[in-house]
A and B are shown apart, each in its own frame.
Chain A
Amino acid sequence: MPDATGLELLAQELGEAALETVYFREQATIVIDPAEVRAVLRSLREAGYSFLASVHGVDYYPEEPRLGVVYELLDMSRVDRIAVKLRVGMDSPEVDSVTAEWPTADHQEREVFDMFGVVFRDHPDLRRILMPEDYEGHPQRRDFPVGGEPVIFTRDAAEWLEARE
């Protein structure tokens, strides 16, 4: 991980796009403006962070803006990790897709779309990946219920069958 000063320098280089930096438990995170995601990742790639390890979503309910997307980058030559975070609100959950430059983001962005509802512009094939294609709702949002079935025991089986009819 870049240490705290390295992180500040990196954020300064990114200029307007970097909104905030967080250095927590020796891990560096830069919070950026959602419109600049492609430019930021490009400049981080030039800085050496060439491996996109993970793209995942977080739901920050009840804080606004609610939906966050985190990009975990890794610099293999210096063994450095940095996380790039962006937050979008529920009114316009759209982010530019980085799949064209980082092919690994393909399935991972589809998963963020499936689970949180963040739409990635210019994604080659944005469909649900884990849930059935016609599923309604985005399961990993915090206000989506966990769900589940009541367990059918043998002694309750008769009532359960009656209730079904």
Chain B
Amino acid sequence: MSPTENPPLSAYRRREQSITLSPLEDPHDGAPGETSDELLTLNFGPHHPATHGVLRLLVTLQGEVVRDIKPIIGYVHTGIEKTAEDKAYWKVIPVVERMDYLSYYFNAMAFCGAVEKLVEVEVPKRGQYLRVIHLELNRIASHLIWLGTSALDLGAVSIFLYCLREREQILDLFEMSSGQRMHTRYFQVGGVIEDIPAGFASKLREFLKVMPERADEYGAILNSNEIVLQRLRGTCPLDAATLLGLGVSGPLLRAAGNPWDLRKADPYCSYEDFDFKIPVGTVGDNYDRFAVRLAEIYESVKIIEQALDGLPEGPHITEDRKVALPPRHELATSMEALIHHFKLVTEGFRVPPGEVYNAIESPRGELGCFVRSDGSSKPARVHMRDPSFVNLQALSHMARGNYIADMVATVAMLDPILGGIDR
């Protein structure tokens, strides 16, 4: 009997099978609450009012105290990595973008960065700055949805609508630069697909003026709300060493005190040109996770301002015609441009064989893309190392021994995106 057919029962399953209903015992002197050792397994089904996607949790409770959590995932599994093996590199970009559906530019950036390493093509400075502007705008948008849905879980419904209002402005900017609000296919191998139109810079500056004031408002509303503070302060802390062992990165690790940020540690895409701080927490409880993400919004605004002020002139995509499409006006005059265009659109560019792993800092942590190419025009393996997939393993460690209401707040502060978890 091979292990694939009959996998061994996990400790959780064995315990589940051994639960017997014991008669209620007398409460011992002076101790309120726990009167019996009965364990209850509750199913937080894939469909639940918490707006965090189709995450299923099997929660083992003793009274109201969480003893164990087993997440069951796979309810949005889309086979993105398998689909990506079937398409040319250019066509993989829209497929991979839909993985972590709140930080679509980051998915495209990880993949394009990996392919650029393989093809050894250099992104021009203007392209890099435009990439940084869009990446940081996406970071703000992702944090806004996180803030809105987390506040919704805690009961503060109006914050949800305020955050959506800001996100509409950001989506307007995305629509201006690429024509689409989400999943814009704006990043291409070698740069960005189009330069920003006239009026984008001024609209962006208006937004940048407004955003810090709005973030102040959200901070003011939530930080002076007694219920939010009681629910977040001191609940479900986890120290940095355990988090590192679990492979957690991003705002969760920074909230625990470890200032690891790939933008500063291993800069990519011109992040070394910008001056920004990394917000770091102290205790690692839910309040620190919330405060770190809120502070990151201000830092992202700073980065965008600097990128916009220092936006250099030049091409927005590499001039290498073997990798990037030639501009349309050249097709009328140059034969080589026509041939390149034809080859790129029908077959796509070929990538020399090899394996590469490219990691960037997404709003949830380290987003890595592993690309293996076998010399043809389609990738042989694309694996996205999604931060939420790895961060989810920390949930049971965080919520163990805490109340079930704290568990709900922790799931919110964990910021899981099921599209990235399930791919």
CB atoms of A107 and B390 under 8 A apart: yes
Choose, from A6-14, A45-53, A155-163, the stretch at the interface: A45-53
Q: Counting CB contacts under 8 A, is B53 at the interface?
A: no
B191: interface (CB < 8 Å): no
Q: Is the CB of A132 within 8 A of B74?
A: yes
Would A130 and B422 be within 8 Å (CB), given that A107-B390, A139-B79 are in contact? yes
Q: Decide if A54 touches B368 in the complex (CB within 8 Å).
A: yes
B82→A139 contact, CB < 8 A? yes
Which residues on the B side are within 8 Å of A104 (C-beta)?
A: 245-248, 390, 393
Chain B binding site: helix, strand, loop or mixed by DSSP?
A: mixed
A115 partner residues in chain B, CB cutoff 8 A:
81
Q: Are A81 and B3 in contact (CB under 8 A)?
A: no
A54 and B356 contacting across the interface, CB-CB below 8 Å: no
- Are B423 and A119 in touch, CB under 8 angstroms? no
B199 at the interface (CB under 8 A from A): no
Contact B118 A59 (CB under 8 A): no
B83 touches A107 (CB 8 A): no
Interface residues of B in 379-415 (CB under 8 A from A): 380-381, 383, 385, 389-390, 392-393
* Chain B residues near A24 (CB-CB < 8 A): 354-356
Residue of A nearest to B354 (CB): A24
Query: Residue B77 at the A interface, CB < 8 A?
Result: yes
A106 at the interface (CB under 8 A from B): yes
The answer to whether B73 and A130 have CB atoms under 8 Å apart is yes
Is A72 interfacial (CB 8 A cutoff)? yes
The answer to whether B355 and A29 have CB atoms under 8 Å apart is: yes
- Contacts A126-B3, A129-B74 given: A146-B82 contact, CB under 8 Å? yes
Contacts of B77 in A (CB 8 A): 130-131
B248 neighbours in A (Cβ, 8 Å): 104
Q: Do A72 and B385 form a contact, CB below 8 Å, given A53-B366, A126-B3?
A: yes
Query: Would you call A103 an interface residue if the criterion is a C-beta within 8 Å of the partner chain's C-beta atoms?
Result: yes
Q: How far is the CB of B381 from chain A (nearest CB, A)?
A: 5
Contact of A56 among B120, B385, B422 (CB under 8 A): B385
How many residues on chain A are close to B (CB under 8 Å)? 44
Interface residues on B, range: 35 or more
> Residue among B118, B390, B393 with the most chain A CB within 10 A?
B390
Per-residue interface assignment for chain B, residues 50 to 85, with 1 indicating a CB less than 8 Å from any chain A CB and 0 otherwise: 000000000000000000000001100101011101
B60 to chain A, nearest CB (A): 14
Instruction: Say whether B357 contacts A81, CB under 8 Å.
Output: yes
- A127 nearest CB neighbor, chain B only: B7
CB distance from B385 to the nearest CB of A (A): 4
Contacts of A21 in B (CB 8 A): none
B-chain residues with CB within 8 Å of residue A127 when the two chains form the complex: 7, 10
With both beta carbons as reference points, the residue of chain A lying nearest to B265 in the complex is identified as A79
Contact of B356 among A27, A79, A129, A131 (CB under 8 A): A27
> Which residues from chain A contact B354 at a C-beta distance below 8 Å?
24-25
Instruction: Check if B244 sits within 8 Å of A51, measured CB to CB.
Output: yes
Bound Cα distance A127, B4 (Å)? 8
Q: Which of A124, A130, A132 has the most CB of B within 10 A?
A: A130
Contact of B3 among A106, A107, A119, A130 (CB under 8 A): A119
Are A25 and B120 touching (Cβ within 8 A)? yes
A58 touches B372 (CB 8 A): yes
Q: Verify if A16 is at the interface (C-beta below 8 Å from B).
A: no
Q: Show 27 residue pairs from A and B whose CB-CB distance is below 8 angstroms, ordered by the A residue.
A: A24-B354, A25-B117, A27-B357, A29-B355, A52-B247, A53-B247, A57-B383, A58-B381, A59-B381, A72-B357, A79-B266, A102-B245, A103-B245, A103-B246, A104-B248, A107-B389, A107-B393, A108-B390, A115-B81, A117-B4, A124-B11, A126-B8, A130-B73, A140-B82, A142-B85, A142-B380, A144-B82
What is the interface of chain B, defined by CB distance below 8 A to chain A?
2-4, 7-8, 10-12, 73-74, 77, 79, 81-83, 85-86, 117-118, 120, 244-249, 260, 265-266, 354-357, 359, 366, 368, 370, 372, 380-381, 383, 385, 389-390, 392-393, 422-423
A-B contact sample (19 more), CB < 8 A, given A102-B245, A102-B247: A50-B244, A51-B244, A52-B247, A53-B359, A53-B366, A58-B381, A58-B383, A70-B357, A72-B357, A79-B266, A81-B357, A107-B390, A107-B392, A117-B4, A124-B11, A128-B74, A140-B82, A142-B85, A142-B380
